[in-house]
Amino acid sequence: MKITDHIKNANGKTLFSFEIVPPQKGVGIADLYKNIDPLMEFKPPFIDVTTSREEYIFLERGNGLMERKITRMRPGTLGICSAIQNKYNVDTVPHVLCGGFTKEETEYLLVDCMYLGINNIVALRGDAMKGEKYFEPSVGGHKYASDLVKQIHDLGIGEYLHGKIESDTDNSFCIGVAGYPEKHIEAPSMNYDLQMLKKKVEAGADYIVTQMFFDNQKFFDFVKQAREIGIDVPIIPGIKPIATKIHLQMLPQVFKIDLPEALINEVLKCKTNNDVREVGIEWAINQSKELLDFGIPVLHFYSMGKSDNILKIGREVF
């Protein structure tokens, strides 16, 4: 079922969902299941599965020689989506990237989604390759998520890359896109970024999922500004419980977000990472309760491997 239909059917009740990251290739799926199992208690209508683009790896070839190879270390997004759908009878949402993919490859992936009964997609540009400063689209690929959204939307109405195919079945996808309550790092201003977000909605996006944030006011302001410029699709907040001291540096560096002083101070007082985990849980519970009062359609968690903290938060909030 489409995410937008899940939201409609919930009649104003906030739904619970989460995102998982595929394991590195060579590692089995068992650990992923161990982390998903407990969260099924909250009856998520859908689970997101991220996609990682290709990266350079360096292999030692003896005599001090290194060989540079390009590979995807976490392939298998569609396989994992399909496995989860079968095991848990829940919708899955693969993340589809511009970076590293041609339009043809994207079309084949979307056709596979149709066969697998996957009718929700989060369409993203992806970041620059590791070691490169700026995002470069693949030859024959898309430059912006809005172009990818258009391809997914068009294919849903039978417009394939080579031409039109008439069909009696509904092949349309429900398309999610990323939103940034603290602005995307490359956008010259918040207003510019919001206008680009609007472009994604005009191209066919049905809902928005936000980057993680730790200060709800940033989300409230973002929603207000989005509504003011005519973005009227559901906006789903993404929440990540802070879990180790390293997150104080890592989260701003990777996700280009700020942490509130009060949270930083609480984390700095912690003696162990277990203490930090508890601070993260407490913070996320308070954030979640306030977001539910605000009236959000879905509360979406970034699980990043471990789900024990999300389980504790969910039990307090749902």
Shortest CB 111 distance to ligand FAD, Å: 20
Is 193 a binding residue for ligand FAD by CB under 6 A? The answer is yes
Q: Which of 6, 95, 247, 312 binds ligand FAD (CB under 6 A)?
A: 95
- From 19, 107, 182, 266, active-site residue: 19
Q: How far is CA 97 from CA 50, 59, 190, 194, in A?
A: 9, 27, 23, 20
Q: Which of 14, 17, 35, 51 binds ligand FAD (CB under 6 A)?
A: 51
Of 83 and 270, which CB lies nearer to ligand FAD in the complex structure? 83
Query: Measured between alpha carbons, how far is 204 from 110 in angstroms, rounded to an integer?
Result: 15
Footprint of ligand FAD on 194-223 (CB under 6 A): 196, 199-200, 209, 211
Which residue type is seen at 135? Answer: F
Within 8 A by CB and 6+ apart from 291, the residues are: 216, 219, 237, 239, 299
Of 125 and 312, which CB lies nearer to ligand FAD in the complex structure? 125
Is 184 a binding residue for ligand FAD by CB under 6 A? The answer is yes
19 is catalytic: yes
Is 53 a binding residue for ligand FAD by CB under 6 A? The answer is yes
Please identify, among the stretches 33-41, 121-129, 243-251, 261-269, the one whose residues bind ligand FAD according to the rule CB under 6 A. Answer: 121-129
Residue 200 main-chain phi, psi, to 5 deg: -65, -40
Is 314 a binding residue for ligand FAD by CB under 6 A? The answer is no
Is 307 a binding residue for ligand FAD by CB under 6 A? The answer is no
Please identify, among the stretches 64-72, 125-133, 222-230, 288-296, the one whose residues bind ligand FAD according to the rule CB under 6 A. Answer: 125-133
Q: How far is CA 118 from CA 49, 207, 245, in A?
A: 12, 16, 37
Residues that contact ligand FAD, how many (by CB under 6 A): 25
Which residue type is seen at 171? Answer: N
Is 190 a binding residue for ligand FAD by CB under 6 A? The answer is no
Please identify, among the stretches 50-58, 160-168, 266-274, 284-292, the one whose residues bind ligand FAD according to the rule CB under 6 A. Answer: 50-58
Within 8 A by CB and 6+ apart from 34, the residues are: none
Of 184 and 245, which CB lies nearer to ligand FAD in the complex structure? 184
Within 8 A by CB and 6+ apart from 205, the residues are: 123, 149, 175, 176, 177, 233
Is 178 a binding residue for ligand FAD by CB under 6 A? The answer is yes
Query: Measured between alpha carbons, how far is 176 from 32 in angstroms, rounded to an integer?
Result: 23
Question: Would you call 298 exposed, middle or buried from its count of C-beta atoms within 10 A (0-12, 13-18, 19+)?
Answer: buried
Is 306 a binding residue for ligand FAD by CB under 6 A? The answer is no
Q: How far is CA 14 from CA 8, 120, 242, 297, 312, in A?
A: 11, 19, 22, 5, 17
Within 8 A by CB and 6+ apart from 182, the residues are: 211, 213, 218, 256, 257, 258
Please identify, among the stretches 58-66, 78-86, 178-186, 276-284, the one whose residues bind ligand FAD according to the rule CB under 6 A. Answer: 178-186
Q: Which of 32, 47, 97, 231 binds ligand FAD (CB under 6 A)?
A: 97
Query: Measured between alpha carbons, how far is 310 from 18 in angstroms, rounded to an integer?
Result: 9
Residue indicated by tokens 């890359």: 161
- Residues that bind ligand FAD in the complex, under the rule CB under 6 A: 50-53, 95, 97, 124-127, 144-146, 178, 184, 186-187, 192-193, 196, 199-200, 209, 211, 238
- Catalytic residue set: 19
